[in-house]
Amino acid sequence: MNTPHQHIIKSYDEELKRLTGEIVKMGELAVAQIEAAIDVVERRDERAAQRVVDNDDAIDVLEQEISQDVVRLFALRAPIASDLRNVLAALRIAADIERIGDYAANVAKRSIPLSRVAPIPVAGGLANLAELAADQLRNVLKAYHDQDAEAAYEVWKADAELDEAYTMVFRALLTYMMEDPRNITPCTHLLFMAKNIERIGDHATNIAENVWFVVHGEPLVAPRAKRDTTSNPEP
Amino acid sequence: MNTPHQHIIKSYDEELKRLTGEIVKMGELAVAQIEAAIDVVERRDERAAQRVVDNDDAIDVLEQEISQDVVRLFALRAPIASDLRNVLAALRIAADIERIGDYAANVAKRSIPLSRVAPIPVAGGLANLAELAADQLRNVLKAYHDQDAEAAYEVWKADAELDEAYTMVFRALLTYMMEDPRNITPCTHLLFMAKNIERIGDHATNIAENVWFVVHGEPLVAPRAKRDTTSNPEP
């Protein structure tokens, strides 16, 4: 590990704090991407949508930087016990945020073909879903920053609401498809967009589980009862 | 780290080999789950589908064991340089396999409502897609076991085929939905099933990137050009 920065030896606590700060920054970018994605869906703005897709690179770059920081931290500090738990959780949380960024970018990308056809009046439901997901991510980032396991648990529980909102959007989309075959293609995009947002919520609950684990040293649930409310939809 | 096993100090190489072996075993379970999932879709067998869903727990348990092994390895060995790369890659690969298991279980779960309605004649295309995905995973596990970066690169490139096969299934499903509104609900399940299998392929390419990184110490591509062939489908 002969890097030019090797001579800058900060205190261990400072390094961990820096890592946490980077992850929160990465998470805030992802929140902004979710909100920007849903904004371009509503405005039907192709160029803005492409900008959201392009901005995902910034999140990917941050994840790579965090991975490198973690490798450096391991090499210089060889963390054990709760510090090790902290660093491994940081890696996992960064991976979750990276996936959230991908989902947000995919929502923006799918809005491009949608902006070329007649609007499906489900955008309100989708925006509501995205707002719930953005709130979940915002709240779990705060819980992570504050090392607040109880706040993380609240996020974990609130995922059920997001699942319900998803099911509502899903069923509305089915009815639009049945009403008019011309709606089918745009509605498949909207289906995947809604699913992407629901998955963002799942990643927020993963982060919540990691916060709990960091604070308490044991899993929140083992293994988590998995919800998948749309495996058997009856429209 | 006062575990009852602490006195059993194996050689470092042995421990790494054990870790690799566990990951390959976990991956083989995931391959079996993909194949079992597509088998229950074709046989329309609800009970067998439920067994596939339940079997996903075994993969989750293995991932937890691998995480614990990694934590123990860090605590006892404090790996650096290429060993550190190896161990971090192992963690990432285990996470990818865990997700693949989730996707396979979701395919099986969605087959349950499908077995109660008239079959959509796209099952052949879906089985072909799943076979491609299972092959990708099998091949990348071998590349990982053999530390063969070139073989990993072949897997990485072959993902394009899987994306093409997915696009074909996707377009076929759109036409079935347009032909008869009664097909819409079952076809949305099939859409998500096809998407899940396509995502399994993406995780196989993630694993390929990690194998490349372990062998060469630098990324395969930075950042990978992301494919998303169905963001703009024109049936």
Longest dimension (CA), chain A: 67
Q: Say if residues A173 and A154 touch (Cβ distance below 8 Å).
A: no
**Domains of chain A: total:** 1
Residue B190 lies in a domain: yes
What per-residue confidence (pLDDT) applies to A10? 66
Q: How far apart are CA A161 and CA A129, in angstroms?
A: 9
Stretches where chain A sits below pLDDT 50 are 1-7, 223-235
CA A91 to chain centre: 14
Distance from CA of B142 to the nearest CA of A (A): 25
Q: Does B52 touch chain A (CB under 8 A)?
A: no
B225 has a chain A CB within 8 A of its CB? no
Q: Does B160 touch chain A (CB under 8 A)?
A: no
Q: Does residue B57 sit within a domain?
A: yes
Asked if pLDDT for residue B222 goes beyond 60, the answer is no
pLDDT on residue B72: 83
CA distance B94 to B99: 9
Alpha-carbon distance B88 to B99, whole Å?
Answer: 17
pLDDT at B93: 96
pLDDT digit string (tens) for A119-130? 888 877 999 999
* B106 lies within 8 A of chain A by CB: yes
Residue carrying the six token digits 């009815």: A175
Q: Which of B80, B86, B166, B179 to mutate to test the interface with A (most CBs of A within 10 A)?
A: B80
What is the pLDDT confidence band of residue B5, given thresholds at 50, 70 and 90? Answer: very low
Chain B residues in contact with A110 by the CB 8 A cut-off are 231
At what angle are helices B184-216 and B123-146 packed, to 10 degrees? 10
**The Cα angle at residue B228 between residues B226 and B234, in degrees rounded to 5:** 150
Is there a contact between A121 and A179 (Cβ–Cβ < 8 Å)? no
Produce one character per residue of A204-232: b if its CB has 16 or more CB atoms within 10 Å, e if not.
bbbbbbbbbbbbeeeebeeeeeeeeebbe
Span B53-72, pLDDT tens digits: 999 999 999 998 998 888 88
Helix crossing, B12-43 with B81-114: angle to 10°? 10
Decide if B231 and A112 are in contact by the 8 Å CB cutoff. yes
Chain B hits for A233, Cβ within 8 Å: 113, 185, 188
- Which residue segment(s) compose the domain that B94 sits in? 4-216
B1 band by pLDDT with thresholds 50, 70 and 90: very low
**Residue A148 CB: number of other CB atoms within 10 A?**
17
Q: Has residue B100 been placed in a domain?
A: yes
The answer to whether B115 and A35 have CB atoms below 8 angstroms apart is no
Q: What is the CA radius of gyration of chain B?
A: 20
- CATH at A159: 1.20.58.220
ipTM computed for the complex: 0.85
pLDDT at A3: 47
Residue A182 — φ and ψ, nearest 5°? -70, -20
Determine phi and psi for B4, rounding to 5 degrees. -65, -15
pLDDT at B218: 86
Residue A194, domain member (yes or no)? yes
Record the pTM.
Answer: 0.88
Higher per-residue confidence, B8 vs B193: B193
Residue A95 lies in a domain: yes
Structural domain includes residue B185: yes
pLDDT score, position A2: 45
Question: Is position A231 within any domain?
Answer: no
Res. B235: pLDDT tops 60: no
Most A-contacting residue of B80, B91, B188, B220 (CB-CB within 10 A), to test interface: B188
Q: Which residue type does A191 have?
A: L
* Count of beta carbons in the 10 Å neighbourhood of residue B168: 14
B91 to A88: CB separation less than 8 angstroms, yes or no: yes
B192 interfaces chain A, CB cutoff of 8 Å: yes
Residue with token string 């995780």: B203
CB spacing of B185 vs A192 below 8 angstroms = no
Q: How does pLDDT run across B117-170, given as a tens digit for each residue?
A: 988 888 779 999 999 999 999 999 999 999 999 999 999 999 999 999 999 999
The dihedral over CA atoms of A165, A166, A171, A174, expressed in degrees to the nearest 10, equals: 150
Residues of B with Cβ-Cβ distance to A61 under 8 angstroms: 223
* Distance (Å, whole) CA A165 – CA A194: 9
DSSP state of A116: T
Q: Is residue B225 part of a domain?
A: no
Q: How far is A125 from chain B (nearest CA, A)?
A: 19
> Which of residues B194 and B217 earns the better pLDDT score?
B194
Contact A121/A11 with Cβ under 8 angstroms?
no
pLDDT tens sequence across B72-98: 888 788 887 788 889 989 999 999 999
The mean pLDDT value of chain B amounts to 88
Q: Quick count: other Cβ atoms within 10 Å of Cβ A80? A: 14
